[in-house]
Each structure stands twice: as C-alpha cells, then as structure tokens.
Chains A and B, each alone.
Chain A
C-alpha cells in the first residue's frame, strides 16, 4: 500500500470510477445480453478472489470450490422463493448464506487438514461432487431441493420497495435490470477487493503465505496452522456463499447443473491463469475467462461463414476447443499466469532448478 491520496493515484481512481460507471451503458448499447455477461464476469471476479484466498494465499488446492457457491445459491433459493413459501429479506439471507457456506468450508477443511497437495485436491473435488449429487437427489422422500428441475421464481434482490429487476428511472437515467445488478455487483466487488487487499497484508495473510511457502517452518515460528488453514477455507467459502446468493437472485433460477465440477475448474483456471495470489491478476483472469467463451460464441459462426462459406464445424465445440487451446497456450508462454505478482515472477527463476520434482 503506497500513499492512497497522492494526486496521481487520485486521478487514476477517478478514471477507473468513471469507466466503471460508464461501462454498463457502453456495453448495453451492444445488447442487454452483454450486460448480463458483464455481471457474470464480476460474479466470477468475486468467486475467483474467494478461491484465491484458499489457493493463492494459503496454497491449498481446492477443486470443489463451487460447492460453496452452490450452498449460497440454494440458501437464497430456498429462503426466498415460492418453493417453501418463504420470502426473507436480503439483509437476512446473504449473511445466512455466507455463514452456512462458511460452516461447510470448515466442514470440508477440518478432516482434510492433514492432507497435502494433491490429496487435498481430490478430496475437495469429491466434496464438491457430493454436494452436487445431494442437490440433484434431495427431492425425495422429502422434497428439499426439487432435484434436477431446480428451483424457479426466486425473488430478486430487493431493498424495501426498490427491486433489482425491471427497469426504473434513477437520476434521470433509465436502468434495466442487468444494469442495476451491475452497480450492486460492482459495489460488492469493490468491497471484496478491499477486504482481499487488506487481508493479504494483514497478520493472517502473512500467516497464509508462510503456510503456502513452507508449512513446517510456519508451524515452527508459532503459527497455529490448523486454525489459520481453517480460516482460509472458511473465508474463501463465505465469499463463495455470498456470490452464490447474488447468482440465485440474479438468475431467478437455480439447478444442480450450474454447480458441476467444470465450474470449479473454471474458477481455478481463472485464478491460475490470471496469476495466483496476485489480486489484479486474478481479477484479470476472471474477466478474461468469462468473456473469452462468450466472445467466441459470437465470433465462431461468422468466421466460418467467411472462410468456408458454410458452417463446417459445430460452433459450440469449436468455441470450447479454442478455449481449451487458449488455456494450454497461455500456460505454455506465461507459466506463472498473465499478471503474476512481482515477487512470484522473481522467484520463478529459482523454481526452474528446483521444480523438476
């Protein structure tokens, strides 16, 4: 943290603020669909930053992170939809979702504390699958999650009379539903980024990094590795839970399909591709990996038409193929991620010698 209030950074912050305010209107000109994609990008920033706490800061490889997102989403869906006839207000559900996700984080964290590296990865992966399978099947004998059909007609975010769906006039501007959610998400994302930056340089953040670098040494200097690791799981999970709640409200619909393993993997890819442990990098990774498949969706068909005059290859698989190749190529040429932290890129020189094993 340098001095926040020097003139240059003030101008920078002001520029970013203007850009962030103008963005939904600029993007909205290309269609509301793009504003929705923008919202998803921010939601993924949220998720990626949460996972970054676990993977990037504490170095615990978590392949089941989406489970916490699912817990948050289903908490919102069950407490604010006609499914159970409950309609809790936002300020009640979001904390409940966060606390529940946090509880699940500890539930996952506590039996896995002893595990190292890839053993942890597979257990977290299994945990994510268990959560998804339960959501898929808890419709009988007691219908809790409505099974694979999912839950529909979920309440949007609402503060008093102000609802985040439908258009409304604010300060003379016409805002569509996605635009309103955009501003809510940006506000939350800024909060999350600030929390993350502060965490990284806090005592806990340093403890996490110490564990990441060498757990035994961390223990030796008096860090309570058990509690600190659990805290990483719990905090990462609660970010996921909040993101999940907003997701449910924004979509109005949740089903187990949205929480498959591939989603966990995508969020992990965002963290690693952006630059693990480096907050700006993670944000970049999340935004890029949300937009890339969507942009490809729009680009693949016209390009094929122009090249061959007809659609030769199924556009859906072609776009995922390019996406997969992009992952491989980025990792090939930027092994530490697109925007790694300065310390990490410096370390990488030494890692080459050590890394063979």
Chain B
C-alpha cells in the first residue's frame, strides 16, 4: 500500500508537468487544428534559458533563490517570444494550406530548435542548480520533497489562472469563439490572428514553467529533453480529448499516475516477464485502449471533421 501511495504521488508530480505541457498543445489544436510538434522544444528552451540565467546571476553573487526566480521569469519571457515568433514565421503563412503542410513545418521547426539549442548549449547534459532547499516530508509512509510539492501547487495555480483567462476574460472569449468558428469570430470583430498568437504565447509561457519544473525535478537538462516529454504531453492531451482544457489537465495527471503505477507494478503483473523499462509503453497502450472505446478522448466532443 505504501508503494501504491508513493507511486501515486510520483505520478501526480510527473502528471502535473505533463498537464502544463498538454495545455499548450490543446490550446493551439483547439483553435487552429494544428499539432504543434515544436511545443516540446519550447519546454526544452525554457529549461536551458533558466539554467543559463540562474547560473550567471548566481555566479555574480545573487542569492540562489532570487537568481532562480529571475531565471524562471527569463525563461517565461523568452519562451513567450519564441512562441510568438514560431506562429508568426512558421505557421501564419500556412493558414489555409493543406492539413499536413503545417505538420511538416512543425517538425522542421522542432529539428531547427533542437539543433540551435545544441549549438548554443552544447550536447552535454547540464546540471540544474538546486532552486529549492532539499526538504523531505513524510506522510502515511510515503516520502516526498519540497520540489514535488511546489511543482504540484504551482501547476495547479497556473491551470487555475488559465481557466480564468479562457472563461472569464475577453481574450478568453475571443479564443473560444475562434476555436468554434474562425470565420464567424472574425465577422464579430475578433482579430483571429491576434487570438491565435495569444494562444501560442500563453501555451509557451506554460511550457517554460514546465521546463523549469522538469529541470529542477530531475536536476538535469539537455537539448533533447523536449521531444519525448512533448510526445507524452501530446498523448495526454489526446487522451483527455484534444482541444479541451479540462481534458488536457485530466489526461496529463492520469497519464502521469498510470505511468508511475505501471512502472511500479508491471514486474509483478507479468510474473517478472516484463520489467520497468517498459514504462514508456504504458502511455501508448492506455491511449490506444481509451481511444478504442472513446474515439475522441475522455472528454472530447464528437466532431465531424474528416481526416
């Protein structure tokens, strides 16, 4: 039972990170129907920028906590700029082109960003400075750290903020209108280009925070860290029903927990035949099973659009 609870906690932490990244996918997808494959790379850039800024400031004598905060802000700002430029340079000129064209562009941008990061930061793993003191908590036989607590709380706060933005502000209303029907929304005076850019910027800000979280959780960052994370987060978004905010959050947390439980129990379940190195297949197996029964994800509405 202790192991069970422990794995739930680990899964919750990982899942909150997935959820933050999944929100970026789902916002862009919901509004323009595009899988932004480069989103995972935005997470990576966020993590690497925050390492550089934090490291430089801390070396200049700033206290680590403050330097970390500056690093986080720098990461958010640079990722917002990156998200905006991605949309402006790569996707906006392709509005209205065949469906797969922006997908290839997204893949191209993902390759570009990865290799740019490799040129700038090198191909070695970078150690993430310990932003938070290492405090351990014990609860009902489980152990968790301050970093984990902060990750869960901070992602919950960010998600609440996003929900507020989307459902309580004018920009959010414009976003929802554009998602439903861009042509009609623009007739109603919504500047759809600005709304789409805003979705990219907001999604990238969430991604930057997620990047800093992943970095401080695993204490390393790398130019390739974004790809698999982005893939898992996208899986989470689809699991929940892509284009749906609640779905992305639920999908992210669910995926994190399933993975953690799967990794913890697969050995026992299969009599030792399959080991914990099969962890990565859980995400996909669960996805396939869910989609077999609910073809548009757990919370997705039935859509009539075609392939």
Decide if A130 touches B111 in the complex (CB within 8 Å): no
Decide if A59 touches B96 in the complex (CB within 8 Å): no
User: Given A137-B275, A215-B306, A324-B110, is A123 in contact with B104 using a C-beta cutoff of 8 Å?
Assistant: no
Decide if B307 touches A61 in the complex (CB within 8 Å): yes
**Contact mask for chain B residues 171-200; partner A; CB cutoff 8 A; 1 contact, 0 none:** 000000000011100000000000000000
Decide if A314 touches B119 in the complex (CB within 8 Å): yes
Which of A76-84, A93-101, A269-277 contacts the other chain? A269-277
Residues of B within 8 A of A16 (CB): none
CA distance A134 to B268 in the complex (A): 18
Decide if A335 touches B97 in the complex (CB within 8 Å): yes
> Does B295 touch A at the CB level, under 8 Å?
yes
> Does A204 touch B at the CB level, under 8 Å?
no
Residues of A within 8 A of B107 (CB): 265, 269, 327
User: Given A261-B231, A313-B119, is A123 in contact with B291 using a C-beta cutoff of 8 Å?
Assistant: yes
Decide if B96 touches A353 in the complex (CB within 8 Å): yes
Decide if A269 touches B96 in the complex (CB within 8 Å): no
Chain B contributes a number of interface residues (CB within 8 A of A) equal to 59
Decide if A331 touches B105 in the complex (CB within 8 Å): yes
Decide if B108 touches A123 in the complex (CB within 8 Å): no
Decide if A137 touches B306 in the complex (CB within 8 Å): no
Decide if B118 touches A356 in the complex (CB within 8 Å): no
Decide if B295 touches A356 in the complex (CB within 8 Å): no
Decide if A314 touches B108 in the complex (CB within 8 Å): no
- Which label, helix, strand, loop or mixed, suits the secondary structure of the B interface? helix
Decide if B112 touches A112 in the complex (CB within 8 Å): no
> Does A302 touch B at the CB level, under 8 Å?
no
> Does B145 touch A at the CB level, under 8 Å?
no
> Does B218 touch A at the CB level, under 8 Å?
no
Residues of A within 8 A of B105 (CB): 327-328, 331-332
Decide if A272 touches B100 in the complex (CB within 8 Å): yes
Decide if A324 touches B112 in the complex (CB within 8 Å): yes
Within 8 A of B (CB), among A68-90: none
User: Given A60-B307, A115-B291, A276-B98, is A357 in contact with B182 using a C-beta cutoff of 8 Å?
Assistant: yes
Residues of A within 8 A of B109 (CB): 324, 328
User: Given A328-B105, A331-B94, A332-B105, is A126 in contact with B287 using a C-beta cutoff of 8 Å?
Assistant: yes
Residues of A within 8 A of B100 (CB): 55, 61, 268, 272, 276
**Contact mask for chain A residues 266-295; partner B; CB cutoff 8 A; 1 contact, 0 none:** 001100110010000000000000000000
Most buried by B among A272, A328, A353: A328
CA distance A269 to B103 in the complex (A): 9
Residues of B within 8 A of A336 (CB): 97-98, 101
Least CB distance, A95 to chain B, in whole angstroms: 28
Contact of B94 among A130, A327, A335 (CB under 8 A): A335
Decide if A122 touches B235 in the complex (CB within 8 Å): yes
Which of B13-21, B153-161, B257-265, B278-286 contacts the other chain? B278-286
Beta-carbon nearest neighbor of A327 in chain B: B108
> Does B305 touch A at the CB level, under 8 Å?
yes
Residues of A within 8 A of B133 (CB): none
Contact of B104 among A118, A327, A356 (CB under 8 A): A327
> Does A116 touch B at the CB level, under 8 Å?
yes
A interface residues, Cβ below 8 angstroms from B: 55, 59-61, 111-112, 114-123, 125-127, 129-130, 133-134, 136-137, 140-141, 212, 214-216, 261, 265, 268-269, 272-273, 276, 313-314, 317-318, 320-321, 323-328, 331-332, 335-336, 344, 348, 351-357
A117-B305, A126-B285, A313-B119 known, 15 other contacts, Cβ within 8 Å = A61-B307, A111-B292, A118-B35, A119-B297, A122-B235, A123-B288, A130-B284, A136-B277, A272-B101, A314-B119, A320-B115, A328-B105, A348-B97, A352-B96, A356-B183
